[in-house]
Amino acid sequence: MMKNAGNDPLFTLTTGPVDAYPAVLRALSMPVWYDYDPAFLACFERVSRKAAAAMRTESIPLILQGEPVLALEAAAASLIARHDVVLNLVSGVYGAGFGDWAGRYCATVRELAVAYNEALDPAVVDRELRRHPEIGIVCLCHHDTPSGTLNPVDEIGCVVKRHGRLFLVDAVSSFGGMAVTPDSCRADIFITGPNKCLGCPPSLSLVAVSEGGWRKIKANPDAPRASVLSLLDWERAWLADEPFPYTPSVAEINGLEAALDGYLGEGPEQVWARHDLTARAFRAGLRAMGLSLWAARESIASPTATAIRVPEGVDEAQWRALAREHYGVMFSSGRGETLGKVMRVGHMGPTARPLYAVVALTALGGALNRLRAGRVDVGTGVNAAMAVIG
139 binds a copy of itself (CB under 8 A): no
Residues 231-270 that bind a copy of itself (CB under 8 A): 246-252, 255, 266, 270
Instruction: Give dist(CA 49, CA 11) in Å, integer.
Output: 33
Per-residue string for binding with a copy of itself, 95-134, x by CB under 8 A?
-----x----------------------------------
Instruction: Give dist(CA 353, CA 40) in Å, integer.
Output: 33
164 binds a copy of itself (CB under 8 A): no
7 binds a copy of itself (CB under 8 A): yes
354 binds a copy of itself (CB under 8 A): yes
42 binds a copy of itself (CB under 8 A): yes
208 binds a copy of itself (CB under 8 A): no
> For residues 36 and 298, which CB has a smaller minimum distance to a copy of itself in the complex?
36
Nearest to 151 by CA among 203, 90, 199: 90
2 binds a copy of itself (CB under 8 A): yes
Residue from the set 143, 274, 283, 347 that interacts with a copy of itself by CB under 8 A: 274
Minimum CB separation of residue 22 from a copy of itself in Å reads 5
Nearest to 49 by CA among 63, 38, 60, 65: 60
Residues 324-343 that bind a copy of itself (CB under 8 A): 324, 326-330, 332-333
39 binds a copy of itself (CB under 8 A): yes
> For residues 37 and 211, which CB has a smaller minimum distance to a copy of itself in the complex?
37
> For residues 313 and 390, which CB has a smaller minimum distance to a copy of itself in the complex?
390
Output the CA–CA distances (angstroms, integers) from residue 140 to 50, 158, 168, 171, 233, in the order listed.
26, 13, 6, 9, 24
For the chain, how big is the Rg over CA atoms in Å?
Answer: 21
Ligand-binding site membership of 344 (annotated): yes
For the stretch 39-44, contacts whose Cβ atoms lie closer than 8 Å and that sit 24 or more positions apart, written own/partner, are 40/250, 41/240, 41/241, 42/240, 43/253, 43/254, 43/257, 44/237, 44/238, 44/240, 44/244, 44/248, 44/253
Question: Looking at this protein, which amino acid is placed at residue 174?
Answer: S
Minimum CB separation of residue 289 from a copy of itself in Å reads 10
CB 160 within 8 A of CB 129: yes
Instruction: Give dist(CA 350, CA 186) in Å, integer.
Output: 28
26 binds a copy of itself (CB under 8 A): yes
> For residues 97 and 213, which CB has a smaller minimum distance to a copy of itself in the complex?
97
Minimum CB separation of residue 341 from a copy of itself in Å reads 17
Output the CA–CA distances (angstroms, integers) from residue 15 to 170, 307, 373, in the order listed.
15, 10, 27
Nearest to 329 by CA among 296, 303, 353, 351: 351
Q: Binding site for substrate: what residues are annotated?
A: 344
